[in-house]
Amino acid sequence: MNHLVAPSLLSADFLNLKRDVEMLNRSEADWLHLDVMDGVFVPNISFGFVIMDLLKSITDKPLDVHLMIVQPEKFIDEVAAMGAYMMNVHYEVCTHLNRTIHAIKEKGMKAGVTLNPHTPVSLLKDIIQDVDMVLLMSVNPGFGGQKFIHNTLSKLDDLKNLIIQKNSQALIEVDGGVDLETGKLLVDAGADVLVAGSFVFSTENPEERIRQLKML
Ligand code: DX5
Ligand code: ZN
C-alpha cells in the first residue's frame, strides 16, 4: 500500500487552530494525529477532550489519537465518543495491554500500541496479532521538533519481521523528527504511516510539505 501521512497538530498555531485544521482538510493528509500529554507519563501537557471534540466537528480526516498518558484505559469511552478512528496507547503504561486493546476494539475503534525509543519490538510477540497498528516513537515523547533517533530504522526491521512471522495485519506508524530525509528512509524501510509535526508547520506552505511527504 502507499504510505499515509498524518500531520501532528501539536506544531500548529494554537491561536489559529481552525485555520490550520481547514488547511489540513484541503491537503493530501490522510489522518489527523492528535497528541494528548498528561505531564506524568511525559514531561509536558498538551490538550484534552474539550479541544479535541471541537476539532472533530471541523475536520474531515480520520483522527489518530496518540495518548501519552498513564492509565489510558480510563479514557476509552471518551476517545470513542469523540469519534476517533485510531486509539494509540503506550506499551509502557499498560499493565493489562491485551484487555485494553480489546476494549478499544469493542468500542469500534482501531487499536494501536506505541513503543518508546528504548522499548524493544520483541515485547510485542504475544500481542502483535491483536493490534491494528504499532506506533514506533523515533523521539522521546513529549515535544515536537526533536531530532530523529536513527535506531528506529533497525526497530522497523525487527517489527516487519515480527509482523510477517506472526502473520499480523498491523500497520507501522513512525512519529518524531520526520522530514523528507528521514521520511524517505522510513518509507523505504516499510513504514505505512508517517507522523510529522514541525516539518509540516514550520513553513509558509504546509500543504506543499504534506504533498512532498506523500510523494516519498
Ligand atoms: C511527540 C509527539 C509527536 C510530535 C512530533 O511526543 O508524539 O507527534 O508532534 O513532532 P515532530 O514531527 O516535530 O517531531
Ligand atoms: Zn504523536
pLDDT in tens, 142-177: 999 999 999 999 999 999 999 999 999 999 999 999
pLDDT band at 141 (very low <50, low <70, confident <90, very high): very high
- Name the residue range of residue 20's domain: 4-214
Cα–Cα distance, 201 to 194 (Å, whole number):
15
Phi-psi region of 195 (alpha: psi -120 to 50; beta: other; left: phi over 0): beta
Pick the atom of ligand 1 nearest to 37's CA.
6
Assign 175 to helix, strand or coil: strand
Q: What pLDDT was estimated at residue 198?
A: 98
| C-beta of 61 in contact with ligand 1 (< 6 A) | no
Task: State in Å: Cα 34 to ligand 2 middle.
Answer: 7
Q: What pLDDT was estimated at residue 145?
A: 98
Pick the atom of ligand 1 nearest to 198's CA.
13
Q: What pLDDT was estimated at residue 155?
A: 98
**Which residue type does 12 have?**
A
Cα–Cα distance, 21 to 92 (Å, whole number):
31
Q: Residue 172 sits in a domain of what CATH number? A: 3.20.20.70
Q: What pLDDT was estimated at residue 159?
A: 98
| C-beta of 141 in contact with ligand 1 (< 6 A) | yes
**Residue among 92, 140, 143, 193 whose CB has most ligand 1 atoms within 8 A, to mutate:** 143
Pick the atom of ligand 1 nearest to 33's CA.
8
Assign 127 to helix, strand or coil: coil
| C-beta of 177 in contact with ligand 1 (< 6 A) | yes
Cα–Cα distance, 73 to 60 (Å, whole number):
26
Q: What pLDDT was estimated at residue 213?
A: 98
Residue 180 Cα distances to 15, 46, 142, angstroms: 27, 26, 22
Which bound ligand lies closest to the C-alpha atom of 201?
Answer: 1
pLDDT band at 203 (very low <50, low <70, confident <90, very high): very high
Cα–Cα distance, 149 to 130 (Å, whole number):
27
Q: What pLDDT was estimated at residue 201?
A: 98
- Indicate whether 1 pLDDT > 90: no
Domains in the chain: how many in total? Answer: 1
**Residue 118 grid coordinates:** 528504548
Assign 25 to helix, strand or coil: helix
| C-beta of 24 in contact with ligand 1 (< 6 A) | no
